[in-house]
Amino acid sequence: MIDALLSTPLDRLSAKLLGPAEFDFALPPGEPSVIAPDSVSWRVFANPVSMYIGGMAAVLLELGEPRVRHGVWDHSSFRRDPAGRLRRTGMAAMVTVYGARSSFEAMAARVRRMHGRITGTTPEGLAYSAEDPELLLWVQVTAAYGFLEAYHAYVRPIDAAQRDRYYAEAEAGAALYGVQEPPLSQGAVDAVFARMQPTLAPSPILDELLDILRTAPILPLPLRPMQRVAVRAAVDLVPPGLRRQLGLAGQPRPRPGERALLKALAQLGERTHLPSSPAAQALRRMGLSFDRHGRTAA
């Protein structure tokens, strides 16, 4: 009963987090997504609470790499419009998983054209390009990691077999973004983290990023205090060794009551059908529907 009463406000909140309806996941009728509806990815990406936390963890890890950091900080609207930038990034993730294949291919092509214009040099003298295969791989891996770990921590445990399946599901989408040889298992992801760790470094930009994530008008006003709680949860998802290396070890982590609150909200999001969500629209596009246990043929 409570879940049913909260369905409409939760649906509106989820839609507001993604911003204006710039993309119709219900079109074109019948066209499949790159990733199948019975995938681990479809379930992970459908939860707005864990996606919000995981997205912030991913950004912290991405910007821990100096070349990625300056590519984003110097060539994007993150500082000027953090809420808009986060919404656009979240929408791109939704299109990757739930969008019709033709729509996703068109979006990925636009992203690649934009990446072709992003080049520069870090203050330390490191040249960077948004088309650099190593940097594309790092962005793809950290995003996938953040979303999965947030779901695992706050919604339901993901076992080893599901983890491998989840990372393997990203292969086709990653290729369209230009990512070469994306990791297809948890072990391969761990290897990428180990290989990239020596390149990661702390920066005042990470401190500025955390301040932005805590205080910018990202969530609706009544929920704004939850931003600080969610940021603590995001920092907590960064692996301990990388947290120390990035200078984040002193950042506050969620208190037990805060962790319990986030879990309750995320699990409520898991149980509640959100009819305007990208997942629900995509299922309608493909002639499928939800039942109380998940997805089923209409």
DSSP-assigned states of every residue in 51-108: HHHHHHHHHHHHTTSHHHHHHHHHHSSTTT-HHHHHHHHHHHHHHHHHSBHHHHHHHH
Distance (Å, rounded) from C-alpha 140 to C-alpha 250? 27
Q: Is 139 contained in some domain?
A: yes
Q: Is 123 contained in some domain?
A: yes
- What is residue 80's predicted lDDT score, i.e. its pLDDT? 80
Backbone angles phi, psi at 280, to 5 degrees: -65, -40
Cis amide leading into 28 (omega within 30)? yes
- What is residue 290's predicted lDDT score, i.e. its pLDDT? 62
Q: Are 245 and 200 in contact (CB under 8 A)?
A: yes
- What is residue 13's predicted lDDT score, i.e. its pLDDT? 63
Distance (Å, rounded) from C-alpha 88 to C-alpha 178? 19
Domain that holds residue 61: 2-23+33-297
H/E run at residue 296: strand 294-297
- What is residue 56's predicted lDDT score, i.e. its pLDDT? 94
Angle at 43 between CA 39 and CA 45, to 5 degrees: 110
Q: Is 6 contained in some domain?
A: yes
Query: Which of 205, 219, 230 has the alpha carbon at shortest distance from 83?
Result: 219
Q: Is 28 contained in some domain?
A: no
Buried b (16+ CB within 10 A) or exposed e, 55-83: bbbbbbbbbbbbbbbbbbeebbebeeebe
Distance (Å, rounded) from C-alpha 284 to C-alpha 22? 18
Q: Are strands 119-121 and 288-291 parallel, antiparallel or unpaired?
A: unpaired
pLDDT tens-place values along the chain, 298 residues long: 444 444 566 666 666 666 555 688 999 999 999 999 999 999 999 999 999 999 999 999 999 999 999 999 998 877 888 778 888 888 899 999 999 999 999 999 999 999 999 999 999 999 999 999 999 999 999 999 999 999 999 999 999 999 999 999 999 999 999 999 999 999 999 999 999 999 999 999 999 999 999 999 888 888 889 999 999 999 999 999 999 999 999 999 999 999 999 999 999 989 888 888 899 999 999 999 765 334 444 4
- What is residue 67's predicted lDDT score, i.e. its pLDDT? 98
- What is residue 276's predicted lDDT score, i.e. its pLDDT? 85
Number of separate domains in the chain:
1
Predicted structure pTM score: 0.92
